[in-house]
Amino acid sequence: MLFVPGDRPERFSKAAASGADAIVLDLEDAVGAENKDAARAAVDTWLGEHADTVAAVVRVNGTETHWHADDVAMLSGHRCAVMLPKATCAAQLRGVAAQLGAAVGVIALIETARGVLAAQEISSADSVVRTAFGSVDLAAELGVSPDDRDAMHQARGTVILASAAAGRPAPLDGVTTSVSDEDQLCGDTRYAARLGFGGKLCIHPQQIEIVNQGFSPSDTDVTWARTVVEAAGGDGLCVVDGRMVDKPVVDRAVRILARVASAENPSPLPG
């Protein structure tokens, strides 16, 4: 999912054509205080013209800010998913859902210590279709580098487990702030996929291809999955390449093949 500043409407359509599964029209951190009203108006206009043809999400300003109410009021005129920054509890999410209606999906951005500790409550909220991990804000609160994987490991794992326990799709990992270091982006993407994230937030179009590749099953994985599913058949218990295959192994193989199928018609906003 690719962020684009809400006060740069000339970039919206370019972002939509970048190859990202969805774009995030950002009214929060990417927009200065002096441009909040202009950004909201630009997003309102663009959604009115493109919302039916583009997978778009709007990151509103947080519930603790005086811009939040106007952001939500604008979105009430569109059937557009919303990303809520600094999600900390289910009550906060219920408040947003009550204003926008039950049909509007919410991506809860967990990026504070309080939010991490409430990750299962947040993930289980009825309006939440997916969670995302805000590594940069959390790192600032903790006084660590967002690039320090060891420092952020427990928080990432907590968000992943909470999403799984709530029956939600795998969460989205936070951004890689360097837009020129491809090695770091590749490493961050592989690490996130290995942990169990289902995607990643991006801040520049040139990051998209690497992230898409990093979250796509390898040819080796796909061949293994097909072999397992074919060998298991209806019995669900067999041996493949000298390793026991039972139901959990088959389930993993089925999920890999489902990811391959969904790549042709990506859906970052399930439900």
Q: Answer yes or no: are the C-beta atoms of 128 and 270 closer than 8 Å.
A: no
- For 199, phi then psi, to 5°, come to 175, -175
Distance separating alpha carbons of residues 61 and 88, to the nearest angstrom: 14
* 172 and 214 Cβ atoms separated by less than 8 Å: no
Positive or negative, the CA dihedral 150, 154, 159, 162 is positive
Query: Among residues 28, 27, 61, which one has the least CA distance to residue 43?
Result: 27
Please name which of 83, 74, 97, 21 lies closest in space to residue 259, comparing C-alpha atoms. 21
Is residue 83 within 8 Å of residue 57, measured between CB atoms? yes
Is 59 annotated among the ligand-binding residues?
Answer: yes
| Residue corresponding to tokens 């900390």 | 88
Quick one: which of 208, 249, 263, 83 has its CA closest to 72?
83
Distances from the Cα of 265 to the Cα of 15, 19, 219, 259, angstroms: 18, 12, 19, 10
Query: Binding site membership for substrate: which residues?
Result: 59, 111
Annotated binding site: 59, 111, 137
Residues annotated within the binding site for Mg(2+) are 111, 137
